[in-house]
Structure 1
Amino acid sequence: MFEISEYQDIIDKINKIRSYGLNKMLTIPQIAILGDQSSGKSSVLEAITKLSFPRNIETCTRFATQVSMRRSERIEMSAYIEDEPEFNERYSAQDTEWDINTIVSEANRILCSDVEISEKVLEIIISGPTTSPLTIIDLPGYINTTIDGQSKNIVKTIREINTRYINDSRTIILAVVPAN
């Protein structure tokens, strides 16, 4: 069995490889949180990551949010959205912690300005000396019907996004159901 320091050394090497853009070649496990809309997925994400995510109805999860936690000597936090250089520059690695609500709200404005659900991913990268190495993804909640004003394609789009993660062999599914 590995000692904690040996495990951390392996994770550090994997993160170094990831930093060179080779993460698509690695099959490192990730946890995807799945469930119906308003079932408590973001609360589970918050409990695991110790970050405070928005939970009101206007900011329900409308795109995948990947939280990549890594161990490092310095506390840093950054956020990234593919093909959004202005956003990426604003939230590049800093010695300070950004407000998650601000990041998610801005990502929501950018990604969902002309669509109800975006297929793009918001990646939040957190590192620090006590951070446990983990990748966890908050996915849009399943809905069965649409309400007035919503596109009929929203149900299909959510299923397609979530199915991509379900079909990924490295994904561990964390199913969330409401307790009420």
Structure 2
Amino acid sequence: MGNRGMEDLIPLVNRMQDAFSAIGQNSNLDLPQIAVVGGQSAGKSSVLENFVGKDFLPRGSGIVTRRPLVLQLINSPTEYAEFLHCKGKKFTDFDEVRQEIEAETDRATGQNKGISPVPINLRVCSPNVLNLTLVDLPGMTKVPVGDQPADIEQQIKEMLMQFVTKDNCLLLAVSPANSDLANSDALKIAKEVDPQVCVLLVLSPSLI
């Protein structure tokens, strides 16, 4: 399929993702997307924000991403963001985008740092982005914190696998440069799935 064909396909894919999210389900269809995976504090947020050119993702310690964030980037003359669950509302202040992600996450998971597989759909229109669909997934962890369930590691891995095992999913594995790649959680996931569809991004600690 040529570039023109891909340009025509992306809006259709976005509408299908929105439709499944609206009914509270993940899509079982194999839709083209880039899944961003990594351990906690690996720098996934920095990578995603560089795609957009804005700071808009929640930051903090522990598991910050607790629901999949389907990030639909659309090249457009005007810059704004909109959520599927806030129909008709356009966000031009990206600090408010961050606050809405946090609030919507808490609505589904509570404030005990639990996770939910139901995605948040965020569309960012801007003249500075390429037409892409990325999925931000929870950072991998091994030790439950606070009220997190004892099997939090397995829950996160199962959620990741729902996305990264799809044929049309490209896996973007993020690891900090000051860590041993042999112990990279993201690379371990990639090897389990298919190293042929994995891109490894190693970040300088100053970029995380």
**TM-score using structure 1 length:** 0.77
Select between 12-21 and 49-58 the one with higher mean Cα deviation.
Answer: 12-21
| Aligned with 1:125 (options 119, 123, 126) | 123
Aligned-pair CA distance for 1:96: 3.2
Aligned-pair CA distance for 1:19: 6.4
CA gap 1:130/1:43 in 2 versus in 1, 3 angstroms: closer
Task: Give the Cα–Cα distance (whole angstroms) in 1 for the partners of residues 28 and 153 of structure 2.
Answer: 31
* Matching of residues 13-24 of structure 1 within 5 Å: 13-18=8-13, 21=16
Select between 46-55 and 32-41 the one with higher mean Cα deviation.
Answer: 46-55
| Aligned with 1:47 (options 46, 50, 64) | 50
| Aligned with 1:94 (options 83, 90, 95) | 90
Task: Give the Cα–Cα distance (whole angstroms) in 2 for the partners of residues 140 and 110 of structure 1.
Answer: 17
CA gap 1:128/1:160 in 2 versus in 1, 3 angstroms: same
Structure 1 residue 68 corresponds to structure 2 residue 53: no
Task: Give the Cα–Cα distance (whole angstroms) in 2 for the partners of residues 150 and 59 of structure 1.
Answer: 10
1:104 matched to which residue of 2? 101
Select between 11-20 and 117-126 the one with higher mean Cα deviation.
Answer: 11-20
How many residues align structurally?
Answer: 167
Measured against aligned partners, the alpha-carbon deviations of 1:138-174 in whole angstroms (never above 9, x if no partner) come to 1101112223532112112101110011111111111
Aligned-pair CA distance for 1:14: 2.1
CA gap 1:167/1:25 in 2 versus in 1, 3 angstroms: closer
1:136 matched to which residue of 2? 134
- For structure 2, the 5+ residue unaligned runs are 20-26, 179-208
Measured against aligned partners, the alpha-carbon deviations of 1:85-136 in whole angstroms (never above 9, x if no partner) come to xx424xx352735432112111222122176011111111012344310111
Describe the SS at the equivalent of 1:132: coil
| Aligned with 2:162 (options 161, 164, 169) | 164
Amino acid at match of 2:34: I
| 8 Å CA contact 1:31, 1:137 repeated in 2 | yes
1:84 matched to which residue of 2? none
Measured against aligned partners, the alpha-carbon deviations of 1:47-74 in whole angstroms (never above 9, x if no partner) come to 2222312221267111111110112344
CA gap 1:46/1:72 in 2 versus in 1, 3 angstroms: closer
- Structure 1 ranges of 4+ moved more than 6 A: 22-26
Q: What fraction of aligned residue pairs are identical, expressed as a percent?
A: 25
**Higher relative CO (CA 8 A, sep ≥ 6), structure 1 or 2?**
1
